[in-house]
């Protein structure tokens, strides 16, 4: 895998003014035959304006391939095929998972119809309602059908103060997967129901009873949800492809004014394509206090300084910048269990540096400096450095300790007594013979 | 140890007669050995009590100190039984000089180990 920052040199002069993803700019768009590029022109043109190279393809086309020679050809895949049930061989839902594991980012739209994508969503712990049950809300009062719902946006992944976003499609309930990043949640008054008659929701009740998940209703439902893999790849699931359409982008919000769709779609793409919320660990070092070079091994009870440099990707200038904004990172010093787990704070006045000095525990063995920082919406930061911790060498600790002086005195006095005894015995040699003869 | 009163005269009499007979009938050699044995025993007891009541750290120092007392006691006790004229019949082929030489050699080896183990 080519590390993302290898692209930096030619990114620099090719398009310094353009926003770029941290993982590459090639995008494959798999478009449903019923959907037309023109209907999504604002979204796609917006991507192109930000420097992405877009390639279009129908789900049943065989060219261009997504994976060539076991290497993903595109940095990002937009999968707008919510109604297609069969795909060409290299873009089946299973191969999408392969792509994701190779750090290709995915933007996937699902619809109300049951397709292989519906079952793929379950692999991401997204529980979809039965087919044909879109999100319905009768609030606020408006002139659109009940299935076209304005949704208020409030999420750190997207821009602040966005106007409501028009949505129509399916909601999903979340399983308890910690890698899910909810981006857009359903309005509290909304629910999933048969669109022709709200009262005929028997299919939903049956499904809810069978699955034991409860009804698909309320603000805990997701409409747009991100998923971040341990390897750093990002997949975003969208309940309805119309969210990205020109129609919704131009549709005025219920309270007047412009709807937030265009900006929201662009923000979701920016997060999915690893423009925003992207961090990386530049390097980690460790050394003894009052030294600078790392040691091969440390001795128990020594004071050690651990330093880590973190960068954040800046999409406007396409460079990695030192980032000191993390204040809840923790360092673990681990041998099987963490012997020390403590806050790793940013060093004041040194951008991007996080540093900590601590005492190694009174325990020898193979330890690890372990940083495992996982926050929703941010790249996971993981760093592990193995260091052996050894007991002091024979000349590194005092050999004679004050609590043991009775033992030293005992041993020395025994020797002294032995010497004195020998001297007295040998001095008393002659009389002893005389006396012993007497006693015989 | 003078008798304090007439009520305890019988036990103190026997202790006194024991001491008297010990003083009269034991050769100075054996008294010298007994002094060393008594000293070693007291030293060992002090170290053991210190280990129990105060600290056994560092344990190797305790083992060395206590072991030197015990070892020296055993060696001295064997020397005493070999040079005791009462045991002459038992150790016919061991002269007192040879017994002392063996005792001295054994003690030197013991102390060598003790000092290696002490620190």
Residue B7 covered by a domain: no
Are the CB atoms for A298 and A360 separated by under 8 Å? yes
Q: What does the alpha-carbon distance between residue A38 and residue A45 come to, in Å, rounded to a whole number?
A: 10
Which of A404, A405, A409, A417 should one mutate to test binding to chain B, selecting the residue with the greatest count of B CBs within 10 A?
A404
Q: Which fold has domain A26-273?
A: Rossmann fold (3.40.50)
Contacts of B36 in chain A (CB under 8 A): 417-418, 421
- B39: contact with A, CB 8 A cutoff: yes
pLDDT at A435: 43
- Coil, helix or strand at residue A135: strand
- B72: contact with A, CB 8 A cutoff: yes
Residue B93 covered by a domain: yes
- B2: contact with A, CB 8 A cutoff: no
pLDDT at A16: 39
Contacts of B119 in chain A (CB under 8 A): 399-400
Q: What tens digit of pLDDT does each residue of A257-298 get? A: 889 999 999 999 999 999 999 999 999 999 999 999 999 999
pLDDT at A436: 44
C-alpha closest to that of B113 among B56, B55, B51, B71: B71
Q: Indicate the pTM of the whole model.
A: 0.73
Contacts of A399 in chain B (CB under 8 A): 119
Are the CB atoms for A388 and A366 separated by under 8 Å? yes
Residue B81 covered by a domain: yes
pLDDT at A399: 79
Contacts of A407 in chain B (CB under 8 A): 47, 50, 61-62, 64-66, 118
pLDDT at B58: 86
pLDDT at A214: 63
pLDDT at A180: 94
- B30: contact with A, CB 8 A cutoff: no
Indicate yes or no: CB of B29 within 8 angstroms of CB of A425: yes
What are the Cα distances from residue A55, in Å, to A27, A32, A274, A357?
A: 6, 14, 19, 51
HSE of A226, CA atoms in CB hemisphere, 13 A: 28
What's the domain range around B114?
59-118
Are the CB atoms for A73 and A66 separated by under 8 Å? yes
In this prediction, does ipTM exceed 0.90? no
pLDDT at A1: 43
One DSSP character per residue, A363-387 reads: --EEEEEEEEE--TTSPPEEEEEEE
- B28: contact with A, CB 8 A cutoff: yes
pLDDT at A210: 67
Q: Which residue of A has its CA nearest to B116?
A: A411
The pLDDT tens digits along chain B (119 residues) read 454 555 556 778 899 999 999 998 888 889 999 999 999 999 999 999 999 999 888 899 999 999 999 999 999 999 999 998 888 888 888 888 899 999 999 999 999 999 998 87
pLDDT at B9: 63
Which of A406, A411, A435 shows the shortest C-beta gap to B68?
A: A411
Q: What does the alpha-carbon distance between residue A60 and residue A72 come to, in Å, rounded to a whole number?
A: 19
C-alpha closest to that of A342 among A326, A327, A353, A356: A356
Tokens of B65: 């100190």
Q: How many domains does chain B have?
A: 1
Q: What does the alpha-carbon distance between residue B62 and residue B59 come to, in Å, rounded to a whole number?
A: 5
CATH class of the domain comprising A279-390:
mainly beta
Q: How many CB atoms sit inside 10 A of residue A158's CB?
A: 23
- B79: contact with A, CB 8 A cutoff: no
Which of B33, B100, B111 shows the shortest C-beta gap to A415?
A: B111
Residue B37 covered by a domain: no
Domain boundaries, chain A: 26-273, 279-390
Which of B32, B44, B50 shows the shortest C-beta gap to A424?
A: B32
Q: What residues of chain A score a pLDDT lower than 70?
A: 1-19, 195-204, 207, 210-214, 429-440
Q: Which residue of B has its CA nearest to A414?
A: B69
Residue B9 covered by a domain: no
Provide the β-strand partners of residue A104.
none
Residue B30 covered by a domain: no
Contacts of B107 in chain A (CB under 8 A): 418
- B85: contact with A, CB 8 A cutoff: yes
**A321 phi and psi angles, rounded to 5 deg:** -120, 145
pLDDT at A132: 82
């Amino acid at each position: 895998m080519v590390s993302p920052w290898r692209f930096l040199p030619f990114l620099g002069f090719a398009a310094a003014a353009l926003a770029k993803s941290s993982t590459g700019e090639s995008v494959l768009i798999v478009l449903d035959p019923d959907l037309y590029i023109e209907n999504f022109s604002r979204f796609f043109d917006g991507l192109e304006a930000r420097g992405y190279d877009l390639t279009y393809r129908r789900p049943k086309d065989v060219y261009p391939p997504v994976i060539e020679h076991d290497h993903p050809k595109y940095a990002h895949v937009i999968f707008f095929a919510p109604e297609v049930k069969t795909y060409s061989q290299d873009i089946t839902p299973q191969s999408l998972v392969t792509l994701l594991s190779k750090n290709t980012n995915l933007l996937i739209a699902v619809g109300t119809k049951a397709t292989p994508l519906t079952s793929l969503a379950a692999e991401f712990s997204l529980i979809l309602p039965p087919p044909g049950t879109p999100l319905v809300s009768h609030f606020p009062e408006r002139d659109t059908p009940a299935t076209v719902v304005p949704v208020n946006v409030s999420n750190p992944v997207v821009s602040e103060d966005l106007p409501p976003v028009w949505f129509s499609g399916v909601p999903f309930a979340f399983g308890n997967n910690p890698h899910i990043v909810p981006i857009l949640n359903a309005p509290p008054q909304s629910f999933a129901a048969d669109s022709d008659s709200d009262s005929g929701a028997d299919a939903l009740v049956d499904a809810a009873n069978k699955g034991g998940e409860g009804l698909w209703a309320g603000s805990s439902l997701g409409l747009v949800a991100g998923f971040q893999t341990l390897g750093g790849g990002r997949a975003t699931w969208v309940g309805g492809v119309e969210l990205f359409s020109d129609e919704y982008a131009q549709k005025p919000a219920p309270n007047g004014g412009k709807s937030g769709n265009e900006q929201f779609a662009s923000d979701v793409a920016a997060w999915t394509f690893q423009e925003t919320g992207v961090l990386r660990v530049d390097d980690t070092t460790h050394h003894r206090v009052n030294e600078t070079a790392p040691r091969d091994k440390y001795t128990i009870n020594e004071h050690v300084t651990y330093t880590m440099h973190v960068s954040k990707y800046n999409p406007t200038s396409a460079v990695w910048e030192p980032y000191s904004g993390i204040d809840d990172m923790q360092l673990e010093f681990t041998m099987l269990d963490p012997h020390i787990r403590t806050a790793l704070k940013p060093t004041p006045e040194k951008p991007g540096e996080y540093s900590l000095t601590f005492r190694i525990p009174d325990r020898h063995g193979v330890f690890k400096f372990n940083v495992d920082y996982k926050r929703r919406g941010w790249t996971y930061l993981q760093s592990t450095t193995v260091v052996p911790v050894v007991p002091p060498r024979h000349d590194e600790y005092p050999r004679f300790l004050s609590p043991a002086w009775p033992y030293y005195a005992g041993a020395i006095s025994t020797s002294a007594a032995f010497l004195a005894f020998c001297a007295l015995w040998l001095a008393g040699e002659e009389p002893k013979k005389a006396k012993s003869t007497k006693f015989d | 140890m003078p008798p304090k009163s007439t009520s305890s005269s019988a036990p103190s009499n026997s202790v006194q007669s024991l001491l008297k007979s010990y003083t009269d009938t034991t050769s100075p050699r054996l008294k010298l050995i007994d002094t060393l044995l008594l000293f070693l025993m007291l030293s060992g007891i002090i170290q053991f009590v210190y280990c129990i009541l105060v600290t056994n750290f560092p344990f190797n120092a305790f083992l060395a100190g206590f072991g030197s007392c015990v070892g020296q006691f055993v060696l001295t006790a064997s020397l005493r039984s070999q040079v005791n004229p009462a045991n002459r019949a038992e150790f016919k082929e061991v002269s007192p000089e040879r017994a002392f030489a063996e005792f001295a050699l054994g003690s030197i080896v013991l102390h060598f180990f003790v000092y290696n183990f002490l620190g």
